[in-house]
A and B are shown apart, each in its own frame.
Chain A
């Protein structure tokens, strides 16, 4: 929020605190009728007067709004440092280099969130799958509730809940972390089903053959079942990753600076909805197409394997 508003509300509040130092400089403007130079000069003169005689400083100090930034603003215009405005990409002077740089940063955030949440999903999906598959009744039941909850409610709502709902019980996280964890928990539900289907696809004979060779269940799972299940799960996992990658755009709802947010903000500031839209799409495609391609290749490889097995079982 603006510094004056922050000073007014936060300093008096027991439940609010400032999140960080001011990170972006804005100015207040006075709107006048066009071409009314006389009035403009009068207003300018009035402001110059209260600056030079210290009245403005006195007023600002009285309300606790004085800071060093004000001093800098009050210098004659020529001396002012070129203020690097964060949103200086207005339609009049749209700065493409600046926009591309911002989009690239947003793309990096998108990639980091996608990889981070996929990692959570892959790791947390496994105990969920095993719990639902072989766990005691209660665990099976809890895992099913988890899975159905996360698959049955929109991920957007889940993120809003995590970001705005959890702080009310004292669990506040930065927006990017909320997005990363929220998407991770959501996709864990999907990955658990991929794992479970893959594990169930392994014939019981594989377990039995392992046991007969003296393996215990843990060894049989780790050395025999899991590697086979992993091969089955790989193509759907890759597909899920592509979806997750696109679903990072829901982080827009909690204002994480990823590609979708970047698109909205830059386009709002510049009016370049079309060009920026194309640029953002290209960013998404440049990252998701190679993954989709990989998924298809894995799938084809697996199908060939299944074809061989089918032929052999017919020969039997």
Chain B
């Protein structure tokens, strides 16, 4: 479904991504692990078009992004891409002036032009699925970090993305809440969602991600089935990271 080939990203003269390649098959979960500063966030920002790529290519179904495209064509394709990709940032960036429900229906009603009652019904069933139906009329600032995160997930899902991406979803959660989120995401995967999850928490990805990709210094050191990466990593750098994380 998504294929990344030799992806290169430069910023201010330094190369942040140095030729990253991987595939994500439909209905699977890819976990991206790596130390802080290894380029994980930048990778996600390239995948959702917030950063323009400087080399290689991103293919999502029939949409292809490559650095040689003229700016207008690139941004046209990014718009197409964004219809298929939902992102939950590390800092969630909920809209503070809108209620929980308002956050979720904002894009469906104004971008997809879904009639408001229909969008609200859909939003309420999404909130139900993340366990927040009772808080639909609250403002984000009155919710806990974990609740806010689930609002952000519902907001992304309301646009029916084919791929859902998470950046460090457990960074603001205690272990119990992390486990809750993991259960929630597993439920979505069981219903056929495809995900890319960036996390430095291996425990969170274990049993959730089908494949893992270990990054260091803007490069993919090793990738493969989750079991294989966690239990018998080939590269010594991966071994180091895994043993330290465990």
Check if A305 is an interface residue, CB within 8 A of chain B. yes
Is A227 in contact with B97, judged by CB distance below 8 angstroms? Answer: yes
The majority secondary structure among interface residues of chain B is: loop
A215/B145 in contact, CB under 8 A: no
Which residues of B are found within 8 Å of A209, using beta-carbon distances?
89, 93-95
Whether B145 contacts A315 by the Cβ 8 Å rule is yes
Q: Is the CB of B141 within 8 A of A212?
A: no
Which of A206, A208, A219 makes the CB contact (< 8 A) with B111?
Answer: A219
Find chain A residues with CB under 8 A from B107 CB: 213-215
Tell me if A87 counts as interface (CB < 8 A to partner B). Answer: no
Cross-chain contact A312 with B145 (CB below 8 angstroms): yes
Residue B201 at the chain A interface, CB threshold 8 Å: no
Residues in A210-262 with C-beta less than 8 Å from chain B: 211-215, 219, 223-224, 227-228, 231
Given contact pairs A223-B106, A316-B172, A212 touches B97 in the complex (Cβ within 8 A): no
Given A206-B93, A224-B95, A312-B141, A212 contacting B172 (CB threshold 8 A): no
CA distance A305 to B156 in the complex (A): 25
Q: State whether A212 touches B145 (Cβ < 8 A).
A: no
Interface membership of A76, Cβ < 8 A = no
A315 to B86, CA, bound (A): 26
- Name which residue of chain A comes closest to B171, CB basis: A316
For B48, the chain A residues whose CB sits under 8 A away are 212
Residues of the A chain whose Cβ atoms lie less than 8 Å from the Cβ of B79 = 214
With the chains together, A10 CA to B83 CA distance in Å?
Answer: 74
Given contacts A219-B111, A308-B141, contact A212 B86 (CB under 8 A): yes
Residues of chain A with a CB closer than 8 A to B96's CB = 228, 309
Q: Is the interface of A mostly helix, strand, loop or mixed?
A: helix
Closest partner residue, chain B, to A308 (CB atom): B141
With a cutoff of 8 Å between Cβ atoms, the chain B residues found around residue A214 in the complex are: 79, 82-83, 107, 111-112, 159
**Contact A212/B82 with A203-B93, A305-B141, A312-B145 known, Cβ cut-off 8 Å:** yes
A215–B82 Cα distance when bound, in Å, is 10
A205 on the interface (CB 8 Å rule)?
A: yes
Would you call B223 an interface residue if the criterion is a C-beta within 8 Å of the partner chain's C-beta atoms? Answer: no
User: What is the chain B residue whose CB lies nearest that of A219?
Assistant: B110
Identify the interface centre among A212, A224, A305, A315: most chain B CB within 10 Å of its CB. A212
Contacts of A224 in B (CB 8 A): 95, 106
When the two chains form their complex, are residues B50 and A212 in contact, meaning their CB atoms are under 8 A apart? yes
Contact of A205 among B93, B97, B111 (CB under 8 A): B93
B91 touching A205, Cβ below 8 Å? yes
14 A/B residue pairs, CB under 8 Å, sorted by A: A205-B91, A205-B93, A208-B89, A208-B93, A209-B89, A212-B48, A213-B107, A214-B82, A214-B107, A215-B110, A223-B110, A312-B141, A312-B145, A316-B145
Taking beta carbons and an 8 Å cutoff, which residues of A are in contact with B? 203, 205-206, 208-209, 211-215, 219, 223-224, 227-228, 231, 305, 308-309, 312, 315-316
Beyond A206-B95, A213-B107, list 16 extra A-B contacts (CB 8 Å): A209-B89, A209-B95, A212-B48, A212-B86, A213-B111, A214-B111, A214-B112, A214-B159, A223-B110, A227-B97, A228-B95, A305-B141, A312-B141, A312-B145, A315-B145, A315-B172
* Residues of chain B at the chain A interface (Cβ within 8 Å): 48, 50, 79, 82-83, 85-87, 89, 91, 93-97, 106-107, 110-112, 141, 145, 155-156, 159, 171-172
Top 10 nearest A-B pairs (CB, nearest first) are A213-B107, A209-B93, A205-B93, A214-B111, A227-B97, A316-B172, A212-B87, A308-B141, A228-B97, A214-B82
